[in-house]
Amino acid sequence: METRPLGHSGLAIAPLVLGSNVFGWTVDEATSFALLDAFVDAGFSAIDTADTYSRWIKGHVGGESETIIGRWLKRSGKRGKVFIATKVGSDMGEGRCLRKDYVLRAAEACLKRLQIDCIDLLQSHFDDEVTPVDETMQAFAQLIAQGKVRVVGTSNMSLERLKASLAASKRLGIPRYESLQPNYNLYDRVDFESQYAPICAAEGLGVITYYSLGGGFLTGKYRSAAEAAQNLARGGKVKGYFDARGQRILRALDVVTTRQGATPAQIALAWLIARPGITAPIASATDLTQLNEIMQAPRLTLTDEDLAVLNEASA
C-alpha cells in the first residue's frame, strides 16, 4: 500500500489513520480489539489516540483509549506492525499544560498505559499559550534523546505559536514538530487552507486531519440538524453544518458517489487524501461494517471532474 512521508522524519504511514477516541466510550474493549485487528490485517498501521480519551465521560479519568490499545498490543503481538500516535497537553486534571515537567510526566503515563517502550508520534494536543515554546520543545527533545519518542507533532496550536515553535527548534538545534493535526474536511476548509497550509508546505510538515468526516455530517446519513442531533454523540456541533453551503456539499457528495459507486464517507475521505500536502485523514469506526467502508477510501481515485464538483460546492 502507498505510504506518505511524515515531515522530514524519515517515517511514512498509509493514507488513513484509525481514530481511537471511541474506544472505551461508544465502543467496548472487545469491539475495539476486533477493529484494531481488522485495520492492521488490511495493511494499515497508524492509530491515533490521546491521554484525554475519554475523560469527558462521567466516571472516566482519561487514558481509557490508550489502555485498551495497550492491552490489544500485548495480546496481539502486533507492535511491530503499528504506528502509535498519541497526544499530551489536554486537560487531565491540571488544565491544558505543556510545561517541561508536565510533558515528561504525561509521556511516561502514556507509555505505561500503551505498554510500549517508545511512542512513534507524540503530539501536543492543545497549546497552553503560557509555557514558552523553548521549554516545550526541549521537553520533547529530551524524550526523543531518551528513546521514548520517535518524532513529535502538534494540534490545535495558533499559527503564531507554531511558527515560534519551529523557530525555537531551529535556533536550539533540537528536534522540531514534524506534523500538524488540524480540523480539516470538506466543510471546514478556511482556517487550514488560508493559515496553515502555506507553512506546512514551506516547512515540509506532515498533515494528519481530524474531524475528517465532520463528526458524521459527511457520511450523508443525516440530512437535517435535528436528525443528526438525535443520532450522533457530537450532534450539537454537527448541527452547525446544515446550512446552505452544507447542503450543497451533501448534494455534491451524492453526485460523486453515484459516479464512483461509493459512499459519501469514502468520497469525503478520498477528497482529503487527494488534497495537496495531506498525509492522511483520521477516521473512526464503531463497528466492522463502518471500518470496512472507510478502509476503501484510499483505494478510490477521484477524477478531475469529481474533484471540481466537490471543490466548487465546498468553496
Active-site residue numbers?
Answer: 53
Q: CB neighbours of 101 closer than 8 A, spacing ≥ 6?
A: none
Q: CB neighbours of 41 closer than 8 A, spacing ≥ 6?
A: none
Q: Are 24 and 67 in contact (CB under 8 A)?
A: yes
Other CB atoms within 10 Å distance of the CB of residue 36: 23
Distances (CA, A) of 112 to 48, 59, 174, 309: 16, 21, 26, 47
Q: What is the dihedral of CA 176, 6, 72, 294, to 10 degrees?
A: 140
Question: What are φ and ψ of residue 81, in 5° steps?
Answer: -105, -5
Find, among 52, 81, 82, 80, the residue nearest to 64 by Cα.
Answer: 52
The sign of the dihedral angle between the CA atoms of 148, 153, 156, 157 is: positive
- Helix/strand/coil percentages in the chain, nearest 5: 50, 15, 35
The three-state secondary structure class of 200 is: helix
